[in-house]
Every structure is written in structure tokens, then in C-alpha cells.
């Protein structure tokens, strides 16, 4: 017979009860056809898994004895033995049927081999023969990843061995005077810290690290809850970095370009210090796109978590869990096992200090039920480190950084210099435009007071009334934080609170609520 160029494989996704699957290639005998169901070889025969028809005709059917289930993957392909069974004898018959049969088998074997080559990893026709794709010796490639250098030649890279890098968390209480706090885990790079005060993220420019201490430019307010989260490394030869990108909103732009690639799940996004839930934006490589444009003059900070090895940046995917509170439930089931120090918890965009909840396995339990309708987001950091035998000490020395890692050009392009802080991050002018002023501007100890707009009021005594400003403008805010009591009354002063013409009572201890004036109908909304 003649044999046209043809594939030697057919693949199907079965429907419910489907039994017949055509094949579109030539097979000389039944045993030359292999049938797989979901990757498992089936057995030929009426009393087994399937029968076959059309042998030697160029096409036919494989018929299952039991119908397939929806979604079953069926593969039919030529798998003939590469052997010669016919031997021509001197002075013997030289029949065309025998010769054609041998040639058919030969060409089918070539088609089968060609199909196998097409399914393999191989060089393209445009690649020069000088590109070396030979694998290193087993001893050299053990516990390594296959990679390629700048010329396209094979090389090996360290693999991620699932060793967990925990987050170290420490808490402090501000006294309005102290600016220097000793770190439990000493770091030299402020980018390896995340610091919040009363649940609000602090800009990196507002503190520094030196000699095992974190030093604030302004003392945290009296009674403020300080949480310092440091990224630890155990036997690490690749660095765990927090990569920050800062922007200024203009009220119309929704998309911004990050300094390095990221995932949605490995990002922490803050607008004017308030955490943004992940359903409000998307991330595609270096592009972050908000569903609504950030307000004009707003300070936007995007922090992503990544491993870095020399010039290689590997985004590190975190897991995110979202819940809707009902006002009574205190325990929620996470999508993966977590430890307390590896969690970041936000309620309505406000960071929750770790003393307000516990974590056991896949369960997070709050000491008090989050308010009804509140949006809860729990992020879990489960980092991995690499096992590298090249660097004996497991670290990058100053000399190595100078020679091959951070050059002057790279500092100018990808790091945060003084000039870049002035141009693209939170300047003094932008800090002044942030609605809530830095620090506590009013402390209530003896008498109640009427708050002024864009200030932070700390209530340090029981049975006090904080009166909201009269005739507020849209966008004006008041942040109220209470101490260890639950009876502070917030008087509406002629405007609605959450569309209600009633005053509001802060009925939980150590509660911090931001009141934002929106319009005459809603009045003051709480964040």
C-alpha cells in the first residue's frame, strides 16, 4: 500500500458513556496500537477493555467495552516494535507483497519516530549547532533546576526545597516620646520590615534601622499599638526581599507599572496607608490595575514579596483568604495551614494586630466577632528557601554584592534613592495632604471635645463624647482611637453616620475607627 504523511496519534476528551473513538493512522496489526485512558494503558480484547477495527486500512475505531466518564482523556497512538521479521533468501521468491509489507513497516516506523521527535523538547531549526544542551552529570544536577544561560545553553540553578521562612513579629506600645526600639531579629535593611501603628502601614521613609534598632523619625503616639514584622531567613543563600513601588493617584489613572513582576497574592497595596482588598485590583506581571482610579494626590504603595538571587527576582506567591462577617462568628476556616506569625489580617482594610486573634492549623479565631457585613482578608506567607552549595557560607558578602549584584546603574534604576523618594514616593507635601495627620493631635482625659477635621483623637478615659465637626466637606476625616473601655459616644453634630440620624457608640475596647464624610445622605462612613 501507499502511506501518506500522517500523524500517528489521536487524543480525545470523552463525553458521558462514549465508547467509540476513531483513529486516523495506519496500523499493520492490532498490537501496534496503544490505548490510554487517563494515562493508564488499556488491554485489547472483547473480554478486556476494548476492541479495534480498521487494521491495515489507514483508519478505524477503538471501541471501549465500558463507556467512558465525562472528561476522561483517551489517547490512541502507534506503538509498533522496531524490528525486522522477514528475511529474503538467495534464489528464493521476491514477491511484491512481501517487499511492500516490509516497506510499509519501515515507513510506519519512521512516522512513529517522527511523531515522538515532534513531542520532545528539542532545538528549533534556527538554533545553531554551537548551543550546548547536554545535561550536566547526575552529581552536578542533583537537587537543581534546569535553566539556560544568555546564549541558550543548559545550566543548573538551585531548587526551592520547601523550608519555611517564618515571619518574626514583635509588638510595642508607644509613649509619645520614645523613637528607638530594639529589634528582636536584627536586620540591616529597612525593606525587610513592615511596621504598622494602630493598624496603619508606616512609610519606609518614616523610620530607619541601625545597630539592631528601628528608629522612628517621629515618636509613635501615646498608647499606640506598634507592630514590627521582620522577614527571617534560615540557611538562606537567596534573599527574601520586600519590593516597594510607590505612585501618586491623579483621580483618573487606573494602571501603574511596578518595578518588578508580582502576583496578586504576593502583594500588599495601601492607599493613604489604608490596606486595599485584592478584589479591588489585578496584577499582570509588572502591571497593577485598579477597578477604580485612586483619588487625586493619594499616596499609593505596592509591596510585593520575592526571593532574589544576584540579578534573578522570583515572585513568591502568598495565599489569600476572604470572608464576610455576620457579627457573631468568631472562627473561620483558612484554605491552608498557617501559624500566627505568618498571617496578615485586615478587617475593612484596617490591619489587625496579632493580639486580637489566634491561629490553630487551618482555623483563625478572633477574640471578638468582626462586625456584621465587614470584609475580612487573611493573607498567609509560606515562603521557601533554596539549597545552594556554591556559596559555602550561605550568604552574599559585601564583596560579592559589589562585584556582581547591585551596580551603580542598578541602584539608580531599580532602588529607592533620595531623589526617587522626592519624585515618586511620599514627600512632605504629600504627607501634609493626607487626610489624617501623623500622630495623635487630641487626647481626651478629662472632658469631651469637638473634633476638628483631618485629625486623630485618642480617648484615654471612660464615658466621653467626641463630637464630629459641623458642616464637613466631602473627603474630610476624623480618626478616633479608644483605650480599654467601650462607652465612647461619637456625636453626629447634624450629619448622618452611615446614613443614620443617630449618634454612634464605640462599644469595644482598643477600637480605632476612621470617619470619612461622603455626602448628605450617607454622611460620615466608617472605615
Strands 299-309 and 312-315 turn out to be antiparallel
Which set of grid coordinates corresponds to residue 195?
511596621
pLDDT over threshold 70, residue 306: no
pLDDT digits (tens, 9 = 90+) for 329-366: 999 998 878 778 778 888 888 888 777 899 888 899 99
CA dist., res. 245 & res. 269, Å (int): 10
- The fold adopted by the segment(s) 442-526 is Jelly Rolls (2.60.120)
Closest CA to 277 of 343, 334, 351, 338: 351
* Whether 203 contacts 190, CB under 8 Å: no
Q: Is 468 exposed, middle or buried (0-12, 13-18, 19+ CB in 10 A)?
A: buried
pLDDT digits (tens, 9 = 90+) for 387-396: 333 344 445 5
* Whether 102 contacts 89, CB under 8 Å: no
The CA dihedral of 251, 256, 258, 262, to the nearest 10 degrees, is: 100
* Whether 60 contacts 25, CB under 8 Å: no
CA dist., res. 270 & res. 61, Å (int): 60
The CB-side HSE value for 281 (13 A sphere, CA atoms) comes to 28
Residue ranges covered by each domain of the chain: 9-118, 164-431, 442-526
pLDDT digits (tens, 9 = 90+) for 404-440: 455 555 555 545 555 555 554 555 455 444 444 445 6
Q: How far is CA 390 from CA 155, 238, 400, 507, in A?
A: 14, 12, 13, 58
User: 3-class SS at 72?
Assistant: coil
Give the angle 94-95-100 at the CA atoms, nearest 5°.
115
Which set of grid coordinates corresponds to residue 424?
515618586
Closest CA to 27 of 49, 8, 50, 5: 8
pLDDT digits (tens, 9 = 90+) for 2-32: 555 567 899 999 999 999 999 988 888 898 8
* Whether 228 contacts 186, CB under 8 Å: no
DSSP code string of 14-37: PPTT--EEEE-S--SSGGGEEEEE
Which set of grid coordinates corresponds to residue 401?
554584592
pLDDT score, position 115: 78
pLDDT score, position 167: 54
* Whether 522 contacts 496, CB under 8 Å: yes
Q: How confident is the model at residue 399 (pLDDT cuts 50, 70, 90)?
A: low
pLDDT score, position 201: 77
* Whether 217 contacts 204, CB under 8 Å: no
pLDDT score, position 400: 52
CA dist., res. 204 & res. 194, Å (int): 8
pLDDT score, position 508: 85
User: 3-class SS at 431?
Assistant: helix
The secondary element (H helix, E strand) that includes residue 245 is: strand 239-248
Strands 255-257 and 312-315 turn out to be unpaired
* Whether 329 contacts 364, CB under 8 Å: no
pLDDT digits (tens, 9 = 90+) for 106-162: 777 777 777 777 777 777 777 777 777 788 888 877 767 777 777 788 877 654 443
The DSSP 8-state label assigned to residue 298 in this structure reads: -
Count of CB atoms within 10 A of residue 73's CB?
13
DSSP code string of 181-232: EE-SS--S-GGGEEEEETTEEPPGGGEEEETTEEEESSPPPTT-EEEEEEE-
Closest CA to 227 of 127, 114, 357: 357
- What residue has cell string 498608647? 223
Amino acid at each position: 500500500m501507499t502511506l501518506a504523511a500522517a500523524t500517528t496519534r489521536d487524543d480525545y476528551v470523552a463525553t458521558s458513556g462514549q465508547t467509540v473513538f476513531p483513529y486516523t493512522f495506519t496500523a499493520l496489526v492490532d498490537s501496534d496500537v496503544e490505548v490510554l485512558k487517563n494515562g493508564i494503558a488499556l488491554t485489547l480484547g472483547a473480554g478486556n477493555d476494548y476492541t479495534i477495527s480498521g487494521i491495515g486500512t489507514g483508519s478505524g475505531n477503538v471501541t471501549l467495552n465500558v463507556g467512558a466518564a465525562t472528561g476522561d482523556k483517551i489517547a490512541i497512538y502507534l506503538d509498533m516494535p522496531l524490528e525486522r521479521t522477514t528475511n529474503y533468501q538467495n534464489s528464493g521468491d521476491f514477491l511484491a507483497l512481501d517487499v511492500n509489507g516490509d516497506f510499509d513497516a519501515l515507513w510506519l516506523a519512521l512516522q512513529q519516530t517522527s511523531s515522538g521527535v515532534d513531542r520532545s523538547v528539542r532545538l528549533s531549526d534556527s538554533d545553531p549547532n554551537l548551543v550546548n544542551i547536554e545535561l550536566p552529570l547526575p552529581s552536578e544536577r542533583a537537587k537543581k533546576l534546569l535553566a539556560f544561560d544568555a546564549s541558550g545553553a543548559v545550566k543548573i540553578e538551585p531548587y526551592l526545597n520547601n523550608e519555611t521562612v517564618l515571619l518574626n513579629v514583635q509588638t510595642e506600645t508607644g509613649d509619645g516620646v520614645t523613637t528607638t526600639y530594639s529589634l528582636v531579629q536584627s536586620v540591616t535593611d529597612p525593606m525587610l520590615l513592615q511596621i504598622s501603628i494602630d493598624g496603619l502601614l508606616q512609610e519606609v521613609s518614616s523610620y530607619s534601622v541601625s545597630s539592631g534598632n528601628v528608629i522612628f523619625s517621629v515618636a509613635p503616639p501615646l498608647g499606640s499599638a506598634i507592630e514590627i514584622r521582620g522577614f527571617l531567613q534560615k540557611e538562606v543563600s537567596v534573599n527574601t526581599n520586600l519590593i516597594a513601588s510607590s505612585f501618586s493617584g491623579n483621580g483618573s489613572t487606573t494602571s501603574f507599572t511596578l518595578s518588578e513582576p508580582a502576583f496578586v497574592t504576593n502583594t500588599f497595596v495601601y492607599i493613604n496607608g489604608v490596606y486595599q482588598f485584592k478584589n479591588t485590583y489585578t496584577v499582570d506581571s509588572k502591571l497593577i490595575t485598579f477597578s477604580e482610579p485612586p483619588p487625586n494626590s493619594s499616596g499609593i504603595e505596592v509591596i510585593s514579596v520575592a526571593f532574589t538571587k544576584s540579578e534573578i527576582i522570583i515572585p513568591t506567591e502568598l495565599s489569600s483568604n476572604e470572608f464576610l462577617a455576620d457579627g457573631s462568628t468568631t472562627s473561620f476556616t483558612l484554605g491552608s495551614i498557617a501559624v500566627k506569625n505568618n498571617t496578615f489580617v485586615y478587617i475593612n482594610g484596617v490591619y489587625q494586630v496579632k493580639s486580637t486573634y489566634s491561629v490553630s492549623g487551618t482555623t483563625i479565631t478572633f477574640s471578638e466577632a468582626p462586625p456584621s457585613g465587614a470584609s475580612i482578608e487573611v493573607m498567609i506567607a509560606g515562603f521557601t528557601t533554596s539549597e545552594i552549595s556554591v556559596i559555602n557560607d550561605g550568604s552574599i558578602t559585601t564583596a560579592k554584592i559589589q562585584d556582581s549584584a547591585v551596580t551603580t546603574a542598578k541602584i539608580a534604576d531599580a532602588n529607592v534613592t533620595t531623589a526617587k523618594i522626592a519624585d515618586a514616593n511620599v514627600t512632605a507635601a504629600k504627607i501634609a495632604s493626607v487626610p489624617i495627620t501623623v500622630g495623635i493631635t487630641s487626647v481626651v482625659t478629662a472632658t469631651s471635645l469637638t473634633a476638628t477635621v483631618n485629625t486623630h483623637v485618642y480617648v484615654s478615659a471612660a464615658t466621653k463624647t467626641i463630637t464630629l465637626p459641623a458642616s464637613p466637606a466631602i473627603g474630610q476625616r476624623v480618626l478616633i482611637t479608644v483605650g480599654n473601655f467601650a462607652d465612647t459616644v461619637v456625636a453626629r453634630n447634624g450629619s448622618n453616620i452611615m446614613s443614620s440620624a443617630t449618634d454612634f457608640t464605640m462599644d469595644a475596647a482598643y477600637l480605632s475607627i476612621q470617619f470619612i464624610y461622603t455626602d448628605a445622605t450617607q454622611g460620615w462612613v466608617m472605615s
